[in-house]
Structure 1
Amino acid sequence: MLIDDDFDDQEMFGHALKHLDVSVDYVTANDGEHAIEKLKADPKLNPYFIFVDVDTPKMKGVECVVEIKKISRVKNVPVYLYSTYADPKILKAGRENGAVDIVVKAHNMKELEQTLAKILKQ
C-alpha cells in the first residue's frame, strides 16, 4: 500500500512493483484520511507493507502512522515513511510511533526497484 498524493509517484511505484514481478496487489490512497478509511472499511485489505508519504494533505505522514497502528488488523504491518529526503527529526518521530524506517523517493525507476526489492525480501 502506498499513501501519496502525487499521482506520478503512485504510478512509478506501481511500475516498479510490476518490473520486480512480485505477486502483490498494489493499493493506493491519496492521503492519510483516505488510507485510514480504506483500511477500516475493507477487512480483506491486509497489506504486507505500507509506505506513507511524509507530506500529504489532511494528515501528515507521522500522524498517519499513529492512526494505522491503532487498527488492530494492520498494527503489525511494517510501515515506512516515504519522502524526498531523510529528515532525521521526522525519522525519529516516525520510529517513536511505529514506523520501521524512512525511504527516500528514488530519482529513477532502477533505484526504486532496488529499494523495493530489498524491502520485499524482508
Structure 2
Amino acid sequence: MSQTFLLADDDSDDHELFAAALAELDRSIVFDKALDGLQLINQLIEQKVARPDIIFLDLNMPLMNGWRCLEALKKIEEIKHIPVIIYSTSDQQLEEQRAEEMGALCFLRKPESFSTLISILSTISDHLHGGSLVNLRSAIRKFSS
C-alpha cells in the first residue's frame, strides 16, 4: 500500500533532500510539497494533491507560517485527523510543547545528515504502515535527543 508524505517548507533544498531520502527509502512513497502554509491548506481543500498520510510542517514560511497553518489544519473537519509533524531547524523545548498542545503529533528538529533523515523517514513509514501512531511520537523523539 502506497504512502503519501507532504512537506510544507519554503526551502527548495529541503524539498530536494526530502524527496531524495524518500526515493532512496521506498520509491512507492508519494511525495507532495507546498511552499507555505496557505498553499498547503489550499491544496488539501481543493484536493489538488492526494490526501497525505502525514504532513511535515516547517515553522518559518511566508504568507502563513507553520503555527497558523497547524491551527487551520486542526479546524478543518475533513483533514484534522492527518498527523502533523512540526519539522523545523529550531530546537526550543517551548516550541515542542506548543506543537503538541496545538495538536501536532510531535516536533522534529531537521536532521543534520542525509542518513539520519532516511532513518527518521523509515521509522515514520514503518509506523504508518503498521497503523501505529501511538508509539510514533516516542520513536521520533529518539532522533531529537
Unaligned 5+ runs, structure 2: 1-5, 128-145
The answer to whether residue 125 in structure 2 is matched with residue 120 in structure 1 is: yes
Q: Deviations over 1:8-62 (max 9, x none)?
A: 0001000000010152211100000010010111176210000000111122212
TM-score (norm 2): 0.79
User: How big is the shift at 1:106?
Assistant: 1.6
2: CA distance, partners of 1:71 / 1:43: 16
The answer to whether residue 104 in structure 2 is matched with residue 99 in structure 1 is: yes
Native 8 Å contact 1:47 1:74 kept in 2: no
Runs of 4+ in structure 1 deviating by more than 4 angstroms, as ranges, are none
Structure with larger Rg: 2
For the aligned residue pairs, the C-alpha RMSD in angstroms reads 1.4
2: CA distance, partners of 1:86 / 1:54: 12
Larger relative contact order, structure 1 or 2 (CA cutoff 8 Å, min sep 6): 1
2: CA distance, partners of 1:78 / 1:30: 19
User: How big is the shift at 1:116?
Assistant: 0.9
Unaligned 5+ runs, structure 1: none
1:84 match:
89
Identity percentage of aligned residues: 34
Native 8 Å contact 2:25 2:122 kept in 1: yes
